[in-house]
């Protein structure tokens, strides 16, 4: 039986992918990208999870053997920052596109671009 975490994370990725592949509105595509990114982050975190252990912060009674894997957490921290940066940039591109073409539909933009 596949774990609910994996199932949920992969479902999020697929939903995001669906939006990227099929939707025509740029904002919806960007939303799809964000959802995908969230799904990836969740997947990474859930890979590092070991059932019954606590957060990897060394303190009273919690040694390296009682904590979950810390590497995916560091990875995800980086990925979140990158994700936010790319989303911000994509959004600014979307604003410029709207100013230039007056529409957010990508097929319309392609047609106008010629």
Partner 1 sequence: MNELLLIVFSPLIAGVIAWVIRIRGVREGIGILGALIPLLGLIKAYPSLDHGIKATITVGGFEIGFLLSHMSWVFSMIAVVVGFSATLGMVTTARDNYEWLFALMSLTGVLGVFLAQDLVTFFISWEIMTFASFMMVFKFNRQASLKYFLLSIIGAYAMLIAIGVIYAKTGSFAFSEISAFFRKDAMMAMLGGQPAFSRFDTALVYLLFLVAFGVKAGMFPLHVWAPDAYSETDQSYTAMFSGVLSKAGVYGFILLYILMYGKLMVSLGQFRGAPLFGYIIAFLGGLTIMVGGVLAALQEDIRKLFAYSSISQLGYILVGLGIGTSLGIEAAIYHAISHALFKGLFFLIVATLIYRTGKTEFKDFGGLAEKMPYTFAMAFIAILSLAGIPPLVGFASKWLIFEAVISQNLPILGGMVFFGSAIGFVYLIRFTYAVWFGQRPSDIENTKDAPLPLAIAMGILGALNVIFGIAPGIVARELNKLFNSQVIGGNIWELDLGFGRYNALLVTIWLVIGLLIAAILYFLGASVRKVPVTDTYQSGNPVTMDYNLTIRRNFFLPLKEAVEFWLRISFDKLYRDVWKSIEDFAETARNYIYNGNVQAYAWYLAIILLILAIMGV
Nearer to partner 1, 21 or 57 (CB): 21
CA dihedral 35, 40, 43, 45 (to 10 degrees): -100
Binding track, positions 10-29, relative to partner 1; x by CB under 8 A: -------x--xxx------x
Nearer to partner 1, 20 or 31 (CB): 20
Contact by Cβ (8 Å): 34, 16: yes
**Residue 79 makes contact with partner 1 by CB under 8 A:** no
Minimum distance of partner 1 from residue 39's CB (angstroms): 14
Q: Which residue has the tokens 């957010």?
A: 104
Distances (CA, A) of 12 to 30, 49, 69, 75, 113: 14, 18, 23, 19, 33
Contact by Cβ (8 Å): 43, 14: no
**Residue 106 makes contact with partner 1 by CB under 8 A:** yes
Count of residues near partner 1 by CB under 8 A: 7
Binding site for partner 1 (CB under 8 A): 17, 20-22, 29, 106, 110
């Amino acid at each position: 039986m596949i774990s609910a975490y994996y199932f949920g994370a992969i479902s999020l990725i697929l939903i995001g992918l669906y939006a990227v592949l099929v939707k025509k509105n740029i904002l919806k595509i960007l939303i799809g990208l964000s959802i995908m990114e969230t799904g990836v982050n969740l997947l990474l975190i859930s890979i590092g999870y070991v059932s019954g252990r606590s957060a990897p912060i060394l303190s009273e009674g919690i040694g390296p053997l009682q904590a979950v894997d810390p590497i995916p957490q560091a990875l995800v921290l980086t990925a979140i920052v990158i994700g936010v940066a790319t989303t911000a940039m994509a959004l600014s591109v979307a604003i410029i596109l709207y100013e230039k073409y007056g529409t957010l539909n990508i097929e319309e933009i392609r047609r106008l671009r010629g």
